[in-house]
Structure 1
Amino acid sequence: MKLVDPVRLGRSSAPSRVLFGPHETNLGRERDISDRHVAYYAARAAGGAGVLVTEIASAHDSDWPYERAPLASRCGPGWAAVAEACRPHGTVVLAGLGHSGSQGSSAFSQRVLWAPSRVADVASREMPMELEQDEIDSLVAGFAAASREAVRSGLHGVELNAGQFSLLRQFLSGLTNQRGDGYGTDRTRLLREVLAAVREAVGDGVLGLRLSCDELAPWAGITPEAAAGIVESIREDVDYLAVVRGSAMGTSATRPDLHTEPGFNIDLCRAIRESAAGAPVVLQGSVVDPGQAQRALDDGVADLVEMTRAQIADPDVVAKTRSGTPARPCVLCNQKCQVRDNRNPIITCIVNPSAGHEPDEIPISMEVGSRISMEIGDLSSMEIGSRVSTGVGDPSSVGVRSRSGVRGGSEPVLVVGGGPAGLEAARVLASRGRAVTLVEREEQLGGMVRRAAEVAGRGRVWQAIEWLEAEVRRLGVEVRLGVEAGPAELAGREVVVATGSVPGPWGFKVEGGAVLDVVEALSADVSAGPVVVHDPVGDHVGVGVAELLAARGVESAIVTQDQVVGTQLALTGDLADANARLQRAGVALEKRSLLREVHPDHVVLEDVHTAETRERPAAVVVHCGHRLPDETLEGTRIGDCVAPRTIHEAILEGRRAAGGLR
């Protein structure tokens, strides 16, 4: 069976074996499925997704896990719109349904959390209430009502969540179910009751189940062996089973970042499929490569493959697989697609800023001399005049900066800088028929991403550059390496400047000793310690450099003013794992500390609370602080030479600049 072949689920036929799984998006309008959802899902259906599961909606109003979490009783019109938008593509569209239980939030509902037993959640530490029979009956009825509404709205059926953030999983697990009644002596009882009620509600519609088959807590949680027994008890009641892992004990396990190898659930899925006895099984687990997905099918691991993040990065993964065209890669960084936090960010992707913004016009702010047309998806719909700033749903309208003005025309465009911003600008310009020359002072493209890929565990980010380089060469961009462009070369030309950044201020006294900017450190042979990594930012850079040095056998320490090392990694789900890696590697963690002085053989640190100072041995200091823009050239500046930020902003501004140069 081929990944792009149709597959039958119940009485429905899906056009491919690729599933676009349920995930938080923050695209909702209050607790409704919005028009933003509709455009988002329609793009993936048009790209070939065989099965599409909408964002999990709370099946009962006692559950309000995050501010824009859909509520099933309000989703009917939105589900109907999604069904209508996806129908021309043949995609099997299912409503994700669940209840977060004790892993939810009382901040929005101001109601007590529901749970099988009085066991405080390990993350929030909040004590839930233990459900009694009336609440259980209401919960089962809520799942049935939500399922009826889904099929009434035109969806093919539903997928129930008994995986991460799930009350149904909490009833299945000894970690959270300590009841003495029938729901405790038979922990599958509630799940079976819900499945029976939902089957009656959907009739011949599709009924899928997302099941945690390994809570990674073998002392009391669901183990693969226990999951096999659960599957045997319910396999006749479902049309497919999506195999996942994780629990409240390790929320990042379900959707880890790029430090975890893709396909991490392959062995688990293979074992569970044997217990499924013919019920179709879905492989989940950071599968982003169609080749790996096909191998999983060939090896009998699964019948379908979930490729959610791959389809966020490129909605057309399936269509491109059919045609043999390389898809835009997902680098598994979690930087823009992991959105379950209190900022309520809209889902998007560092390599595909269109994701999540399909209905919107690109926010833009630049001086222009003519009317321009562009849209975030195909850069084709927005008319703007002089000094326009607009952006629906995205406050980051400033980014592209022009000093000389930008005009439309047919003359060749010069792009200075071959990092992600310059490459994206060149790619989009060339795709629109413009002649483009790209010059890069180094002998290799990639800019700061080349350095970022050298940091421990982040090699996958280089795939974004490989794809961009292949695209600009395919589109006929003239690429000139080892060329330093000066003001003379820019005179009289249409120019996009993407020259990147320069080292920023240190913020500490240097009384001798070796201090290296992080870029210098990655280029140098730092093989002797002790080394102190100064990390005032708290993202992946400082942590990765410390890991890299430790892997070389260099005695190292990392200094941060924060309570934990790498505090920004909480946003990508890597905070706990990163700290564990550092400790296993023997890196000293100097927390709540400011670097004040550097001397030939030591540094002086200051406690952020008490202002007490202490010395630490150091032969080399690696500074991983903020950098500053390189402002040496005039033109339409984008990316780090406006303000050093991430790959996402660089690619987004490259796309904006290309639209402005139409």
Structure 2
Amino acid sequence: MRLVDPVLLGRSTAPSRVLFGPHETNLGRDRDISDRHVGYYAARAAGGAGVLVTEIASAHDSDWPYERAPLASRCGPGWAAVAEACRPHGTVVLAGLGHSGSQGSSAFSQSVLWAPSRVPDVASREMPVELEQAEIDALVASFASAAREAMRSGLHGVELNAGQFSLLRQFLSGLTNQRTDDYGTDRTRLLREVLAAVRESVGEGVVGLRLSCDELAPWAGITPEAAVGVVESVRDAVDYLAVVRGSAMGTSATRPDLHTEPGFNIDLCTGIRVAAGGTPVVLQGSVVDPEQAQRALDDGVADLVEMTRAQIADPDLVTEVRAGATVRPCVLCNQKCNVRDNRNPIVTCIVNPSAGHETDDPQTPTKTHPQISTEVGGLISSEIRCGGTGGGRVGSGVGRESVLVVGGGPAGLEAARVLALRGRSVEVVEREDRVGGMVRVAAEVAGRGRVARLVEWLEAEVRRLGVRVRLGVEAGPEDVTGREVVVATGSVPGPWGFKVDGGVVLDVVEALSGETPEGPVVVHDPVGDFVGVGVAELLAGRGVETAIVTQDQVVGTQLALTGDLADANARLQWAGVSLEKRSRLREVRADHVVLEDVHTAETRQRPAATVVHCGHRLPDQRLDGVRIGDCVAPRTVHEAILEGRRAAGGLR
């Protein structure tokens, strides 16, 4: 079976075996499914998604896990609009239904959290109420009611969440279910009751189940062995099983960033598929490459493959696989698609700023292939520091319609790509011997090699579109006169913010481009993102005595936004990196540094032969023109690509 082949789920036929799974988007209007949801889902359906599961809606109004979390009783009109928008493409559209239980938030609901037992949540530390029979009955009835509403709205069915953030999983787990009644002695009872009630509501519609089959807490949680028994008890009640892992004990486990190898659930899914006894099984687990997805089908791992982040990055993924075209890569950074935090950011993507903004600017062309023509648009902002590093020398005889792009970082490459799609003649000049700018540097940081795929794709696209790319030459003011110019010259080292009296201080670019320093190294990290953490991890992995200095209470505070904070701190400690927290770097001397406690102002010394400065860089503004990326201000890769796209759209 091929990834692009149809598959039968219940009595519905999905046009491909690719599933776009449920995830937080913050696209909602209050707790409703909005027109932004409709545009977002319709783009993936048009791109060939076989099954699409909408953002998980709370089945009961006791559950309000985040501010814009959909509430099933309010989703009918929005579900109907999604169904109508996706219907021409044949996609099987399902309503995601769930209840977060003790992993919810009383801040929004202003009421007690529900749970199987009085076990405080490991993250919020809040003590929930233990559900009594009347509340359990109300919960079952609410799932049934939500399923009926989904069917009335024209959807094909529902998917129930017994995955990571789920009251149904909490009832299945010994971590959270310590009851002594029937719901404790038979932990599958509530799930079976909900499935029976939902099946009655949907009739011949599709019923899917997202099931955590490994909580990564073998001392009391659901293990793969225990999950087999759960699957055997419910397999006849569902039309497919989506196999996931994780619990409150490890919230990054279900959707980790690029430090975790793609396809991490393959072995788990293989075992569950045997237990499923013919019920279709969905592989989930950072699968973003079509080749890996196809191998999973070929090897009998699963019947469908969830490729959610891949389709955020490229909504036309299935269409492009069918056409043999190149797919825009997902780099698994989690920087703009992981939106479950108190900032309420809208879901989007560093490689595709149009994601989540399909209704904002529908006239910006973003790609075209001989077999494919798509017009979507976008607005936004992000979190990988990036940019071009310079330009080249311009040739003569360029026509009026020609545009010069100075700098071949992500901003410059995206501007060139979109200009070429608009029919302009484009030349990119770059002073280095390869394009990519600071993204190439970022790819050298420990565990982040995958980000280089972004500039590799951009370079391949601009060359495919006929853009002239010149490398290894410098552009000057005389080269940019008389033509439209986009300046993406990147950045230069920024201020250090500490006194230097001897010793060696390296900018992060110098440190990653040169040889490994000898002697102890101190990594100065005033920003708190992946750069300082990754550099420290990289150096320690090479056997260098390494310390990282941060003014914060924990190292890498910004990594909380991508779900990598706990894992990153663990990796640093495993690598032997000394963590100098709540400290400011005040002086660098010949053989040591002087650190100052942020609370007490007390100073202390630490041995250091070299300091690697991982602070913000400054814009390189030597040339005039339409400036984008790091030559405007320190930018993230998402902001750089967005600005490149906007600049291309703004030229005459």
- In the superposition, the TM-score normalised over structure 2's length comes to 0.95
What is the match of residue 133 of structure 2? 133
Tell me the distance in 1 between the aligned counterparts of 2:202 and 2:103.
27
Equivalent residue in structure 2 for 1:537, among 501, 515, 527? 527
The question of 1:93 aligning with 2:109 is answered: no
Equivalent residue for 1:584, pick from 574, 583, 600: 574
Structure 2 residue identity aligned to 1:508: F
1:48-447 superposed matches below 5 A: 48-361=48-361, 374=364, 411-447=401-437
Quote the Cα distance in structure 1 between the aligned partners of 2:456 and 2:157: 40
2:506 is paired with a residue of what secondary structure? strand
Offset of 1:90 from its aligned partner? 0.2
Q: In the alignment, what sits opposite 1:606?
A: 596
Which residue pairs with 1:522 in the alignment?
A: 512
Conservation of the 8 A alpha-carbon contact between 2:489 and 2:631: yes
Provide the rounded CA distance (Å) in 2 between the counterparts of 1:627 and 1:176: 47
1:462 aligns with 2:456: no
Inter-partner Cα distance in structure 2 for 1:381 and 1:73: 31
- Aligned partner of 2:547 in structure 1 is 557
1:7 aligns with 2:43: no
CA distance in 1, matches of 2:379, 2:532: 35
The one of 631, 641, 651 aligned to 1:641: 631
Q: What CA distance in whole angstroms lies between the structure 1 residues aligned with 2:621 and 2:467?
A: 25
Return the offset for 1:361: 2.5
2:443 aligns with: 453
**Residues 379 and 642 in structure 2, CA contact (< 8 A), matched pair in contact too:** no
**Aligned partners of 1:360 and 1:376 also within 8 Å:** no
Cα deviation for residue 527 of structure 1 reads: 3.7
Q: Which runs of 5+ in 1 are unaligned?
A: 363-372, 383-390, 401-408
Equivalent position SS for 2:13: strand
Deviation string 1:514-547 (CA, Å, 9 cap, x unpaired) is 0000001111112422000000000000000001
Counterparts of 2:417 and 2:213, CA distance in 1: 43
2:551 and 2:365 mapped to 1: Cα distance?
A: 42
Contact 1:527 1:552 in 2 (8 A): no
Report how many aligned residue pairs link the two structures: 633
Aligned to 2:621: 631
Supply the distance in 2 between the matched residues of 1:52 and 1:261 (Cα, whole angstroms): 24
Pair 1:381–1:72, CA change in 2 (3 A): closer
The match for 2:393 is none
Structure 1 residue ranges (4+ consecutive) displaced by more than 2 angstroms after TM superposition: 373-382, 391-396
Supply the distance in 1 between the matched residues of 2:639 and 2:365 (Cα, whole angstroms).
17
One-letter identity of the residue aligned with 1:550: A
Displacement of 1:645 in angstroms is: 1.5
Of stretches 273-282 and 425-434 in structure 1, the one that deviates more from structure 2 is: 425-434
Does the CA-based 8 Å contact 2:380-2:642 persist in structure 1? no
Cα 1:380–1:235 change in 2 (3 A) is closer
Q: Which runs of 5+ in 2 are unaligned?
A: 368-372, 388-398
CA drift of 1:431 comes to 1.2
Task: Indicate conservation of the 8 Å contact 2:280/2:303, yes or no.
Answer: yes
1:611-622 equivalences under 5 Å are 611-622=601-612
- 518-527 vs 256-265, greater mean Cα deviation: 518-527
SS of residue in 1 equivalent to 2:252: helix
**Stretch deviating more after TM superposition (10-19 or 644-653):** 644-653
User: Counterparts of 2:246 and 2:204 in 1: how far apart (Å)?
Assistant: 31
Contact 2:354/2:379 (CA < 8 Å) preserved in 1?
no
Following the alignment from structure 2 to structure 1, what is the Cα–Cα distance between the partners of residues 345 and 89?
A: 29
> CA separation in 1, counterparts of 2:297 and 2:456?
27
Whether 1:485 aligns to 2:464 is no
One-letter code aligned to 1:44: R
- The question of whether the paired residues in 2 share the 8 Å contact of 1:361 and 1:375 is answered with no
AA partner of residue 472 (structure 1): V
Query: TM-score w.r.t. structure 1 length?
Result: 0.94
Q: For residue 411 of structure 1, report the CA deviation from its aligned partner.
A: 1.6
SS state at 1:615 partner:
strand
Amino acid at match of 1:638: I
Hey, what's the Cα distance between the residues in 2 that align with 1:644 and 1:288?
A: 29
Contact 2:26 2:68 in 1 (8 A): yes
> 1:644 Cα deviation (Å)?
1.3
Q: Deviations over 1:56-104 (max 9, x none)?
A: 0000000000000000000000000000000000000000000000000
Letter in 2 for 1:300: G
**Percent identity of paired positions between Structure 1 and Structure 2:** 84
Q: Quote the RMSD (CA, aligned, Å).
A: 1.7
Look up the SS of the partner of 2:436 in the other structure. coil
Distance 2:93 2:42 in 1: 10
